Amino acid sequence: MKTPTALLRLVSAAAFAAILAAAVALPAAAQVDLTRIAFVGDSEGAGFSSGCLTKRVQVDSPIAIIARTANVADFQQPIVNDPGLGNCMVLTSLAPSFGGEAGNGTPANLAVARPYNNLSIPGCAIGDMVRATTGAETASAGACRSFIDLVLRNSALHIGSPIAQAVALNPTFVFLENVGNDYLGAVLSGTVIDGVTVTPLAPFTADINTALTTLKSKQPKGLVFGVADVTSIPFATTLPPYLTSGGKLVLVGGAPISLLGPKGCATGVPACAIPPTTLVTLNAAAYLPSGFGIPCAVAPTLPNCNKPLPAAAIDATHPGALIYAADVAFLKQRGTDYNTAIKAAATASGYKYYDVNDFLLRLKAGFNFGGATINAAFLSGGAFSYDGFHLTPIGYALLADDVIQFMNANFGASIPRVNLSAYLFAGGTNGGLSGPFTGSYVWAPMNDAEKATAIEQIFTLDFASQLASMFSFSKPALVQGDGGLVPRVERHHRGPEQP
Protein backbone atom coordinates (compact mmCIF):
# COMPACT_ATOMS: atom_id res chain seq x y z
CA MET A 1 0.00 0.00 0.00
CA LYS A 2 0.79 3.61 -0.08
CA THR A 3 -0.34 4.56 3.45
CA PRO A 4 -3.18 5.37 3.65
CA THR A 5 -5.33 5.29 0.55
CA ALA A 6 -6.57 8.69 -0.43
CA LEU A 7 -8.96 10.25 -2.91
CA LEU A 8 -6.54 12.45 -4.81
CA ARG A 9 -7.10 13.83 -8.26
CA LEU A 10 -4.06 12.92 -10.31
CA VAL A 11 -2.25 15.82 -11.88
CA SER A 12 0.78 16.07 -14.09
CA ALA A 13 4.30 16.05 -12.73
CA ALA A 14 4.79 19.48 -14.24
CA ALA A 15 1.87 20.91 -12.26
CA PHE A 16 3.25 19.46 -9.04
CA ALA A 17 6.76 20.64 -9.82
CA ALA A 18 5.65 24.20 -10.45
CA ILE A 19 3.87 24.44 -7.13
CA LEU A 20 6.47 22.58 -5.11
CA ALA A 21 9.35 24.59 -6.54
CA ALA A 22 7.67 27.75 -5.32
CA ALA A 23 7.73 26.39 -1.78
CA VAL A 24 11.50 25.92 -1.65
CA ALA A 25 13.30 28.78 0.08
CA LEU A 26 16.92 29.81 0.45
CA PRO A 27 19.59 27.80 2.32
CA ALA A 28 19.47 27.80 6.12
CA ALA A 29 20.85 30.87 7.81
CA ALA A 30 22.91 31.10 10.97
CA GLN A 31 20.06 32.36 13.16
CA VAL A 32 19.17 28.74 13.91
CA ASP A 33 22.06 26.35 14.37
CA LEU A 34 20.84 22.80 13.77
CA THR A 35 24.29 21.21 13.87
CA ARG A 36 23.35 19.15 16.94
CA ILE A 37 19.60 18.72 17.20
CA ALA A 38 18.04 17.32 20.33
CA PHE A 39 14.45 16.25 19.70
CA VAL A 40 12.62 14.79 22.71
CA GLY A 41 9.26 13.44 21.65
CA ASP A 42 6.68 10.67 21.38
CA SER A 43 5.40 8.41 18.60
CA GLU A 44 4.66 11.32 16.25
CA GLY A 45 8.23 12.54 16.65
CA ALA A 46 9.50 8.99 16.10
CA GLY A 47 7.68 8.57 12.80
CA PHE A 48 5.33 5.84 14.07
CA SER A 49 2.66 5.06 11.46
CA SER A 50 -0.11 2.50 10.85
CA GLY A 51 0.57 0.69 14.09
CA CYS A 52 4.33 0.26 13.74
CA LEU A 53 7.80 1.77 13.89
CA THR A 54 9.81 0.99 10.77
CA LYS A 55 12.62 2.47 8.70
CA ARG A 56 10.32 3.12 5.74
CA VAL A 57 8.57 5.83 7.74
CA GLN A 58 11.23 6.71 10.33
CA VAL A 59 13.34 8.25 7.58
CA ASP A 60 10.42 10.64 7.16
CA SER A 61 9.82 11.43 10.83
CA PRO A 62 9.20 15.18 11.20
CA ILE A 63 12.63 15.93 12.65
CA ALA A 64 14.42 13.69 10.13
CA ILE A 65 12.76 15.69 7.35
CA ILE A 66 13.77 18.97 8.98
CA ALA A 67 17.37 17.76 9.45
CA ARG A 68 17.58 16.56 5.84
CA THR A 69 16.09 19.78 4.50
CA ALA A 70 18.56 21.84 6.54
CA ASN A 71 21.50 19.66 5.41
CA VAL A 72 22.42 18.56 8.94
CA ALA A 73 25.58 16.47 8.55
CA ASP A 74 25.24 14.18 11.58
CA PHE A 75 21.67 13.27 12.51
CA GLN A 76 20.98 9.94 14.23
CA GLN A 77 17.75 8.22 15.23
CA PRO A 78 16.96 4.65 16.39
CA ILE A 79 16.20 3.05 13.04
CA VAL A 80 14.35 -0.27 13.00
CA ASN A 81 14.95 -2.44 9.95
CA ASP A 82 11.91 -3.48 7.94
CA PRO A 83 9.38 -4.94 8.58
CA GLY A 84 9.63 -2.90 11.76
CA LEU A 85 8.17 -3.39 15.21
CA GLY A 86 4.43 -3.45 15.92
CA ASN A 87 2.96 -5.31 12.90
CA CYS A 88 2.55 -2.61 10.25
CA MET A 89 -0.93 -2.41 8.78
CA VAL A 90 -0.72 -2.79 5.00
CA LEU A 91 -3.13 -2.71 2.08
CA THR A 92 -3.02 -6.03 0.24
CA SER A 93 -5.48 -5.37 -2.57
CA LEU A 94 -7.58 -2.57 -4.00
CA ALA A 95 -10.77 -4.43 -3.00
CA PRO A 96 -9.77 -3.18 -0.34
CA SER A 97 -8.33 -5.77 2.00
CA PHE A 98 -5.75 -5.34 4.71
CA GLY A 99 -3.13 -7.31 6.52
CA GLY A 100 -0.32 -6.92 9.02
CA GLU A 101 3.38 -7.45 8.44
CA ALA A 102 5.43 -9.48 10.91
CA GLY A 103 6.73 -7.12 13.60
CA ASN A 104 10.16 -8.71 13.84
CA GLY A 105 12.36 -5.86 12.63
CA THR A 106 15.80 -5.47 14.18
CA PRO A 107 17.62 -2.29 15.27
CA ALA A 108 19.93 -0.88 12.60
CA ASN A 109 22.21 1.47 14.52
CA LEU A 110 22.41 0.49 18.18
CA ALA A 111 26.16 1.10 18.24
CA VAL A 112 25.98 4.90 17.91
CA ALA A 113 28.31 5.96 20.74
CA ARG A 114 26.26 8.96 21.86
CA PRO A 115 22.57 9.71 22.40
CA TYR A 116 20.43 9.79 19.30
CA ASN A 117 19.37 13.21 18.04
CA ASN A 118 15.81 11.92 17.79
CA LEU A 119 14.94 10.81 21.31
CA SER A 120 11.25 10.25 20.53
CA ILE A 121 9.72 7.21 22.22
CA PRO A 122 6.25 5.92 21.24
CA GLY A 123 3.81 5.88 24.15
CA CYS A 124 5.85 8.06 26.51
CA ALA A 125 4.16 10.96 28.31
CA ILE A 126 5.85 14.06 29.72
CA GLY A 127 6.64 12.37 33.04
CA ASP A 128 8.46 9.58 31.20
CA MET A 129 10.47 12.12 29.24
CA VAL A 130 11.63 13.67 32.51
CA ARG A 131 12.26 10.56 34.63
CA ALA A 132 12.13 7.24 32.77
CA THR A 133 15.43 5.50 32.05
CA THR A 134 14.59 1.85 31.34
CA GLY A 135 11.63 -0.24 30.29
CA ALA A 136 12.03 -2.78 33.03
CA GLU A 137 11.93 -0.38 35.95
CA THR A 138 10.92 3.20 35.28
CA ALA A 139 8.90 3.64 32.09
CA SER A 140 5.11 3.65 31.91
CA ALA A 141 3.42 0.48 30.72
CA GLY A 142 2.55 0.08 27.08
CA ALA A 143 4.56 1.31 24.11
CA CYS A 144 6.78 3.56 26.24
CA ARG A 145 8.05 0.55 28.15
CA SER A 146 8.41 -1.45 24.94
CA PHE A 147 10.44 1.12 23.02
CA ILE A 148 12.40 3.07 25.63
CA ASP A 149 15.44 0.78 25.76
CA LEU A 150 15.69 0.84 21.97
CA VAL A 151 16.03 4.63 22.12
CA LEU A 152 17.89 5.35 25.35
CA ARG A 153 20.27 2.33 25.44
CA ASN A 154 21.16 3.02 29.06
CA SER A 155 22.68 -0.42 29.48
CA ALA A 156 25.52 0.97 27.38
CA LEU A 157 25.29 4.76 27.72
CA HIS A 158 24.23 5.08 31.40
CA ILE A 159 23.05 8.66 30.80
CA GLY A 160 19.44 8.62 31.95
CA SER A 161 16.08 9.94 30.80
CA PRO A 162 15.24 11.41 27.37
CA ILE A 163 15.69 14.91 28.83
CA ALA A 164 19.05 13.93 30.37
CA GLN A 165 20.22 12.46 27.07
CA ALA A 166 19.16 15.60 25.22
CA VAL A 167 21.28 17.67 27.61
CA ALA A 168 24.20 15.25 27.17
CA LEU A 169 24.18 15.96 23.43
CA ASN A 170 25.20 19.57 24.18
CA PRO A 171 22.61 20.58 21.60
CA THR A 172 22.61 23.67 19.43
CA PHE A 173 18.81 23.61 19.19
CA VAL A 174 16.13 21.73 21.16
CA PHE A 175 12.65 20.45 20.33
CA LEU A 176 10.25 19.13 22.97
CA GLU A 177 7.22 17.37 21.47
CA ASN A 178 4.44 15.64 23.43
CA VAL A 179 1.24 15.86 21.47
CA GLY A 180 -1.09 13.71 23.52
CA ASN A 181 0.17 10.67 25.43
CA ASP A 182 -0.96 12.17 28.73
CA TYR A 183 -4.57 11.62 27.68
CA LEU A 184 -4.71 9.83 24.33
CA GLY A 185 -5.07 6.49 26.11
CA ALA A 186 -8.47 7.62 27.36
CA VAL A 187 -9.73 7.85 23.78
CA LEU A 188 -8.10 4.67 22.53
CA SER A 189 -9.40 2.65 25.46
CA GLY A 190 -12.76 4.41 25.61
CA THR A 191 -12.19 4.80 29.35
CA VAL A 192 -11.88 8.34 30.70
CA ILE A 193 -10.64 8.45 34.30
CA ASP A 194 -8.57 11.31 35.67
CA GLY A 195 -5.44 9.92 37.27
CA VAL A 196 -5.77 6.58 35.46
CA THR A 197 -6.07 7.19 31.72
CA VAL A 198 -5.53 10.96 32.02
CA THR A 199 -2.57 12.66 33.69
CA PRO A 200 -3.80 15.13 36.34
CA LEU A 201 -2.94 18.74 35.62
CA ALA A 202 -0.68 19.34 38.65
CA PRO A 203 1.93 16.66 37.85
CA PHE A 204 1.75 17.53 34.15
CA THR A 205 2.50 21.17 34.95
CA ALA A 206 5.35 20.24 37.26
CA ASP A 207 6.89 17.93 34.66
CA ILE A 208 6.67 20.35 31.73
CA ASN A 209 8.33 23.02 33.86
CA THR A 210 11.07 20.61 34.93
CA ALA A 211 11.65 19.53 31.34
CA LEU A 212 11.98 23.04 29.95
CA THR A 213 14.00 24.38 32.87
CA THR A 214 16.47 21.51 32.46
CA LEU A 215 16.72 21.90 28.70
CA LYS A 216 17.09 25.68 28.91
CA SER A 217 20.00 25.30 31.32
CA LYS A 218 21.96 23.64 28.50
CA GLN A 219 20.49 25.35 25.41
CA PRO A 220 18.35 28.51 25.64
CA LYS A 221 17.09 28.27 22.05
CA GLY A 222 14.32 25.80 21.42
CA LEU A 223 10.76 25.01 20.41
CA VAL A 224 8.06 23.23 22.42
CA PHE A 225 4.95 21.66 20.87
CA GLY A 226 1.50 22.01 22.37
CA VAL A 227 -0.73 18.97 22.79
CA ALA A 228 -3.33 18.02 20.22
CA ASP A 229 -7.06 17.79 20.86
CA VAL A 230 -7.36 14.00 21.09
CA THR A 231 -11.13 14.15 20.57
CA SER A 232 -10.66 15.60 17.07
CA ILE A 233 -8.44 12.90 15.52
CA PRO A 234 -9.93 10.58 12.86
CA PHE A 235 -9.95 7.71 15.36
CA ALA A 236 -12.63 9.61 17.28
CA THR A 237 -14.47 11.47 14.53
CA THR A 238 -14.83 9.13 11.54
CA LEU A 239 -17.87 7.09 12.60
CA PRO A 240 -21.22 8.86 13.12
CA PRO A 241 -23.47 8.14 16.12
CA TYR A 242 -25.95 6.58 13.69
CA LEU A 243 -26.26 3.26 11.90
CA THR A 244 -24.66 3.19 8.46
CA SER A 245 -24.56 0.71 5.62
CA GLY A 246 -22.13 0.97 2.74
CA GLY A 247 -20.92 4.26 4.13
CA LYS A 248 -24.42 5.80 4.04
CA LEU A 249 -26.83 6.54 6.88
CA VAL A 250 -29.65 4.01 7.27
CA LEU A 251 -32.91 5.98 7.36
CA VAL A 252 -36.31 4.94 8.67
CA GLY A 253 -39.09 7.37 7.87
CA GLY A 254 -36.42 9.79 6.68
CA ALA A 255 -34.64 9.79 10.07
CA PRO A 256 -31.30 8.18 10.97
CA ILE A 257 -31.16 5.31 13.47
CA SER A 258 -29.15 6.08 16.59
CA LEU A 259 -26.63 3.53 17.77
CA LEU A 260 -27.18 2.04 21.23
CA GLY A 261 -25.14 2.69 24.35
CA PRO A 262 -25.44 1.94 28.08
CA LYS A 263 -25.92 5.42 29.56
CA GLY A 264 -29.08 7.41 30.24
CA CYS A 265 -31.36 4.41 29.82
CA ALA A 266 -34.56 3.75 31.75
CA THR A 267 -34.31 1.46 34.76
CA GLY A 268 -33.86 -2.13 33.70
CA VAL A 269 -33.11 -1.18 30.09
CA PRO A 270 -29.51 -2.17 29.22
CA ALA A 271 -29.24 -0.19 25.98
CA CYS A 272 -30.74 2.98 24.55
CA ALA A 273 -30.06 5.51 21.81
CA ILE A 274 -26.85 7.49 22.28
CA PRO A 275 -27.10 11.28 22.06
CA PRO A 276 -25.83 12.80 18.78
CA THR A 277 -23.05 14.51 20.76
CA THR A 278 -21.46 11.12 21.55
CA LEU A 279 -18.16 10.22 19.88
CA VAL A 280 -18.15 6.75 18.34
CA THR A 281 -14.52 5.70 18.05
CA LEU A 282 -13.11 3.33 15.47
CA ASN A 283 -13.16 0.65 18.16
CA ALA A 284 -16.87 0.33 17.36
CA ALA A 285 -15.99 -1.28 14.03
CA ALA A 286 -15.02 -4.40 15.98
CA TYR A 287 -18.41 -4.63 17.70
CA LEU A 288 -20.94 -3.45 15.11
CA PRO A 289 -20.76 -6.40 12.66
CA SER A 290 -22.16 -8.80 15.27
CA GLY A 291 -24.92 -6.39 16.30
CA PHE A 292 -23.61 -4.51 19.32
CA GLY A 293 -25.10 -1.02 19.22
CA ILE A 294 -27.75 -1.96 16.63
CA PRO A 295 -31.49 -2.26 17.40
CA CYS A 296 -32.95 -5.70 16.75
CA ALA A 297 -35.83 -3.99 14.95
CA VAL A 298 -33.34 -3.14 12.22
CA ALA A 299 -31.13 -6.25 12.25
CA PRO A 300 -32.91 -9.08 14.08
CA THR A 301 -30.57 -11.78 12.79
CA LEU A 302 -27.43 -10.28 14.35
CA PRO A 303 -26.62 -12.24 17.54
CA ASN A 304 -25.81 -9.22 19.69
CA CYS A 305 -28.49 -6.78 18.52
CA ASN A 306 -30.09 -4.62 21.24
CA LYS A 307 -26.86 -4.83 23.24
CA PRO A 308 -24.97 -1.57 23.85
CA LEU A 309 -21.64 -0.57 22.43
CA PRO A 310 -19.30 -0.47 25.47
CA ALA A 311 -18.76 2.99 26.95
CA ALA A 312 -15.65 1.91 28.85
CA ALA A 313 -13.08 -0.86 28.58
CA ILE A 314 -14.63 -4.16 29.64
CA ASP A 315 -11.19 -5.68 30.15
CA ALA A 316 -7.72 -5.60 28.62
CA THR A 317 -8.87 -6.99 25.29
CA HIS A 318 -12.26 -5.28 24.98
CA PRO A 319 -11.82 -1.48 24.81
CA GLY A 320 -14.72 0.94 24.99
CA ALA A 321 -16.13 2.48 21.82
CA LEU A 322 -18.20 5.44 23.04
CA ILE A 323 -17.21 8.75 24.59
CA TYR A 324 -20.22 10.65 25.89
CA ALA A 325 -20.46 14.45 25.79
CA ALA A 326 -19.42 15.03 29.40
CA ASP A 327 -16.19 13.09 28.88
CA VAL A 328 -15.56 14.84 25.56
CA ALA A 329 -15.89 18.20 27.32
CA PHE A 330 -13.55 17.03 30.09
CA LEU A 331 -10.89 15.91 27.61
CA LYS A 332 -11.14 19.12 25.60
CA GLN A 333 -10.76 21.18 28.77
CA ARG A 334 -7.85 19.09 29.94
CA GLY A 335 -6.12 19.63 26.60
CA THR A 336 -6.68 23.37 26.94
CA ASP A 337 -5.28 23.29 30.46
CA TYR A 338 -2.24 21.30 29.34
CA ASN A 339 -1.55 23.87 26.64
CA THR A 340 -1.93 26.74 29.08
CA ALA A 341 0.71 25.08 31.26
CA ILE A 342 2.99 24.49 28.26
CA LYS A 343 2.70 28.11 27.10
CA ALA A 344 3.54 29.40 30.58
CA ALA A 345 6.54 27.08 30.85
CA ALA A 346 7.69 28.07 27.36
CA THR A 347 7.47 31.76 28.23
CA ALA A 348 9.44 31.22 31.42
CA SER A 349 12.16 29.29 29.60
CA GLY A 350 12.34 31.50 26.54
CA TYR A 351 11.32 28.65 24.22
CA LYS A 352 8.82 29.22 21.42
CA TYR A 353 5.40 27.53 21.60
CA TYR A 354 4.23 25.73 18.46
CA ASP A 355 0.44 25.29 18.25
CA VAL A 356 -0.22 21.76 16.98
CA ASN A 357 -3.99 22.28 17.06
CA ASP A 358 -3.71 25.19 14.67
CA PHE A 359 -1.85 22.93 12.24
CA LEU A 360 -4.48 20.20 12.63
CA LEU A 361 -7.31 22.63 11.95
CA ARG A 362 -5.62 23.72 8.72
CA LEU A 363 -4.95 20.08 7.84
CA LYS A 364 -8.62 19.30 8.37
CA ALA A 365 -9.50 22.05 5.90
CA GLY A 366 -6.94 20.59 3.49
CA PHE A 367 -3.75 21.54 1.69
CA ASN A 368 -4.03 21.75 -2.10
CA PHE A 369 -1.12 20.88 -4.38
CA GLY A 370 -1.76 21.32 -8.08
CA GLY A 371 -5.30 19.99 -7.80
CA ALA A 372 -4.50 17.25 -5.26
CA THR A 373 -5.88 17.83 -1.79
CA ILE A 374 -4.33 16.35 1.35
CA ASN A 375 -6.49 16.54 4.47
CA ALA A 376 -7.26 14.82 7.76
CA ALA A 377 -10.07 12.55 6.52
CA PHE A 378 -9.57 8.93 7.53
CA LEU A 379 -8.60 6.63 4.60
CA SER A 380 -9.23 9.33 2.04
CA GLY A 381 -7.25 12.38 3.12
CA GLY A 382 -3.70 11.07 2.81
CA ALA A 383 -2.36 12.63 6.02
CA PHE A 384 -3.46 10.09 8.67
CA SER A 385 -2.40 6.46 8.67
CA TYR A 386 -4.57 3.39 9.10
CA ASP A 387 -4.46 3.50 12.90
CA GLY A 388 -6.42 6.76 12.88
CA PHE A 389 -4.10 8.93 14.97
CA HIS A 390 -0.54 8.67 13.64
CA LEU A 391 0.41 10.46 10.44
CA THR A 392 1.66 9.10 7.13
CA PRO A 393 4.95 10.27 5.59
CA ILE A 394 2.89 12.87 3.71
CA GLY A 395 1.37 14.04 7.00
CA TYR A 396 4.79 14.15 8.65
CA ALA A 397 6.19 16.10 5.70
CA LEU A 398 3.40 18.67 5.96
CA LEU A 399 4.02 18.97 9.71
CA ALA A 400 7.77 19.35 9.18
CA ASP A 401 7.18 22.04 6.56
CA ASP A 402 4.83 23.90 8.91
CA VAL A 403 7.39 23.75 11.73
CA ILE A 404 10.06 25.07 9.37
CA GLN A 405 7.85 28.03 8.45
CA PHE A 406 7.25 28.63 12.15
CA MET A 407 10.99 28.58 12.86
CA ASN A 408 11.72 30.91 9.98
CA ALA A 409 9.11 33.36 11.26
CA ASN A 410 10.01 33.16 14.96
CA PHE A 411 13.77 32.65 14.97
CA GLY A 412 14.74 34.77 11.97
CA ALA A 413 15.93 31.68 10.11
CA SER A 414 15.72 30.80 6.44
CA ILE A 415 15.54 27.02 6.50
CA PRO A 416 14.45 25.66 3.10
CA ARG A 417 10.84 24.53 2.75
CA VAL A 418 10.20 20.80 2.36
CA ASN A 419 10.08 19.55 -1.22
CA LEU A 420 6.92 17.45 -1.16
CA SER A 421 7.41 15.69 -4.50
CA ALA A 422 8.66 12.39 -3.09
CA TYR A 423 5.79 12.24 -0.60
CA LEU A 424 3.03 13.00 -3.08
CA PHE A 425 4.40 10.78 -5.86
CA ALA A 426 5.91 7.86 -3.96
CA GLY A 427 4.39 7.89 -0.48
CA GLY A 428 7.67 8.97 1.12
CA THR A 429 11.38 9.19 0.44
CA ASN A 430 11.69 5.45 1.18
CA GLY A 431 8.34 4.47 -0.26
CA GLY A 432 6.36 4.75 2.95
CA LEU A 433 4.46 1.59 3.87
CA SER A 434 4.33 0.44 0.27
CA GLY A 435 2.26 -2.53 -0.67
CA PRO A 436 2.44 -4.61 -3.85
CA PHE A 437 1.21 -1.81 -6.10
CA THR A 438 3.09 -0.07 -8.87
CA GLY A 439 1.90 2.07 -11.69
CA SER A 440 1.10 5.65 -12.55
CA TYR A 441 -1.30 6.38 -9.71
CA VAL A 442 -0.27 7.79 -6.35
CA TRP A 443 -3.17 6.62 -4.17
CA ALA A 444 -5.95 4.10 -4.65
CA PRO A 445 -9.37 5.81 -4.40
CA MET A 446 -12.10 4.55 -2.07
CA ASN A 447 -15.80 5.18 -2.34
CA ASP A 448 -18.02 5.22 0.76
CA ALA A 449 -18.80 1.51 0.61
CA GLU A 450 -15.13 0.60 0.25
CA LYS A 451 -14.26 2.88 3.13
CA ALA A 452 -16.90 1.25 5.35
CA THR A 453 -15.53 -2.18 4.44
CA ALA A 454 -11.99 -1.05 5.08
CA ILE A 455 -12.81 0.21 8.56
CA GLU A 456 -14.33 -3.15 9.46
CA GLN A 457 -11.28 -4.98 8.12
CA ILE A 458 -8.78 -2.80 9.91
CA PHE A 459 -10.42 -2.36 13.28
CA THR A 460 -10.79 -5.86 14.55
CA LEU A 461 -11.17 -6.32 18.29
CA ASP A 462 -7.62 -7.64 18.32
CA PHE A 463 -6.22 -4.47 16.80
CA ALA A 464 -8.41 -2.21 18.94
CA SER A 465 -7.04 -3.83 22.09
CA GLN A 466 -3.52 -3.56 20.67
CA LEU A 467 -3.93 0.19 20.23
CA ALA A 468 -5.37 0.58 23.71
CA SER A 469 -2.47 -1.38 25.20
CA MET A 470 0.07 1.04 23.71
CA PHE A 471 -0.67 3.58 26.41
CA SER A 472 -0.03 3.70 30.10
CA PHE A 473 -3.10 3.04 32.17
CA SER A 474 -4.28 0.36 34.50
CA LYS A 475 -7.45 -1.42 33.51
CA PRO A 476 -9.59 -1.38 36.64
CA ALA A 477 -12.55 -3.75 36.87
CA LEU A 478 -15.14 -1.05 36.23
CA VAL A 479 -18.41 -0.90 34.37
CA GLN A 480 -20.29 2.10 33.04
CA GLY A 481 -23.32 3.11 35.06
CA ASP A 482 -25.59 6.12 34.63
CA GLY A 483 -23.65 8.00 37.29
CA GLY A 484 -20.25 7.04 35.91
CA LEU A 485 -17.87 4.13 36.33
CA VAL A 486 -18.68 1.73 39.17
CA PRO A 487 -16.90 -1.41 40.45
CA ARG A 488 -17.53 -4.54 38.46
CA VAL A 489 -19.12 -7.50 40.23
CA GLU A 490 -16.84 -10.41 39.47
CA ARG A 491 -18.47 -13.55 38.14
CA HIS A 492 -16.73 -16.73 37.18
CA HIS A 493 -17.32 -17.35 33.50
CA ARG A 494 -15.33 -17.74 30.35
CA GLY A 495 -15.18 -14.01 29.68
CA PRO A 496 -17.20 -11.38 27.87
CA GLU A 497 -19.13 -12.28 24.79
CA GLN A 498 -17.13 -12.04 21.62
CA PRO A 499 -18.52 -9.81 18.91
Report pLDDT digits (tens) over 345-363: 999 999 999 999 999 999 9
What is the count of structural domains for the chain?
1
User: Over 80: is that where the pLDDT of 88 sits?
Assistant: yes
350 domain-assigned: yes
- For residue 247, being part of any structural domain is answered with no
Radius of gyration of the chain (CA): 22
Lowest mean pLDDT segment, chosen from 121-125, 370-374, 381-385: 370-374
Q: Read off the DSSP letter of residue 341.
A: H
Give the CA distances from residue 362 to residues 170, 240, 358, 366, 471, in Å, rounded to whole numbers and listed in that order.
35, 22, 6, 6, 27
The pTM is what?
Answer: 0.88
Task: State mean pLDDT over 377-399.
Answer: 94
Examine residue 324 and state whether it is found in any structural domain, yes or no: no
* 108, part of any domain: yes
**Average pLDDT estimate for 489-497:** 38
* pLDDT, tens digit (0-9, with 9 covering 90-100), for 113-162: 999 999 999 999 999 999 999 998 888 888 999 999 999 999 999 999 99
Closest to 39 (Cα-Cα) out of 130, 119, 93: 119
Q: Taking each helix axis from N to C terminus, what angle separates 325-349 and 201-218, rounded to the nearest 10 degrees?
A: 30
Question: Can you give the three-state secondary structure of 188-199, one letter per residue?
Answer: HHCCCCECCCEC
Taking 80 as the threshold, does the pLDDT of residue 479 lie above it? no
Helix (H) or strand (E) holding 175: strand 173-176
Strand 173-176 with 222-225, pairing: parallel
pLDDT at 172 over 70: yes
What average pLDDT does this structure show over 74-92? 89
Domain assignment present for 278: no
Residue 218 to residues 127, 152, 157, 166, 221: CA-CA distances in angstroms?
A: 20, 19, 19, 9, 9
Calculate the alpha carbon distances from 58 to 80, 200, 374, 386, 391 in Å. 8, 31, 20, 16, 11
Is pLDDT larger for residue 456 or for residue 442?
456
Quote the domain boundaries for residue 213.
Answer: 13-229+332-426
Q: What is the pLDDT of residues 398-447, one digit of tens each?
A: 999 999 999 999 999 999 999 998 888 888 888 676 543 333 334 455 78
CA angle 279, 281, 285 (to 5 degrees): 130
Average of per-residue pLDDT across 177-198 = 95
pLDDT band, very low/low/confident/very high, at 6 (cuts 50, 70, 90)? very low
Banded pLDDT at 260 (limits 50, 70, 90): very high
Q: Is residue 499 part of a domain?
A: no
pLDDT of residue 10: 33
51 in Cβ contact with 443 (< 8 Å): no
Give me the pLDDT at residue 139, please.
84
Confidence of residue 94 (pLDDT cuts 50, 70, 90): low
CATH no. for residue 55? 3.40.50.1110
Burial of 300 (0-12, 13-18, 19+ CB in 10 A): exposed
Tell me the average pLDDT across 20-47: 76
In a domain, 93, yes or no: yes
Give the rounded percent of residues in the chain with a pLDDT score beyond 70.
Answer: 85
Residue 480 in this model has a pLDDT that exceeds 70: no
pLDDT of amino acid 371: 78
Residue 90 within any structural domain of the chain: yes
pLDDT surpasses 80 at 96: no
